[in-house]
A = this chain, B = another copy of it.
Amino acid sequence: MEQIEVSTGGRQAFHDITNEVQAAISRSGVQDGVCFLFCLHTTAGLTVNENWDPTVQQDIGTGLDAISPQRPEYRHSEGNSPAHLKCSLIGPSQFVPVAGGKLVLGTWQGVYLAEFDGPRRRKVVVKVVEG
């Protein structure tokens, strides 16, 4: 088990961590199995989406802001309930199959840490299981 640390770049930001995850798999020595990623926070999550055109990540952020705006009914005094909801919608974790020591991803897929209440320093647990 390892941890990846990411210093996020804004209130909301998507950071491609695919290379860091691949490096952790290589260090683990596992050839075939599953890589489990778990984000240790409640206002940031993990997603898999397009790694080519950065406007896709921007548009996903724009769409999430429209879905989860600040709402007058919210009671949590820290004021970051929109980020907590985004975290539960996107989810705190992702897994990716591993074959031949490599992540099995589609041509356009990358693994992203999704920051919803930054900038902050975030930790992602990486656990590679053989099987």
| Contact A38/B95 with A63-B71, A81-B59 known, Cβ cut-off 8 Å | yes
Q: B88 touching A59 by the CB < 8 A rule?
A: no
A71: chain B residues at CB < 8 Å are: 59, 62-63, 66
Expressed in whole angstroms, the Cα–Cα distance for A53 and B108 within the complex equals 34
- Residues 27-77 of A contacting B (Cβ, < 8 Å): 32-34, 36, 38-42, 47-50, 53, 55-56, 58-60, 62-64, 66-68, 71, 73-77
A89: chain B residues at CB < 8 Å are: 89-90
Q: B108 touching A125 by the CB < 8 A rule?
A: no
Expressed in whole angstroms, the Cα–Cα distance for A47 and B92 within the complex equals 8
Apart from A38-B95, A97-B127, list 9 A-B contacts with CB within 8 A. A34-B129, A38-B104, A40-B105, A42-B50, A48-B93, A59-B76, A62-B73, A127-B131, A130-B131
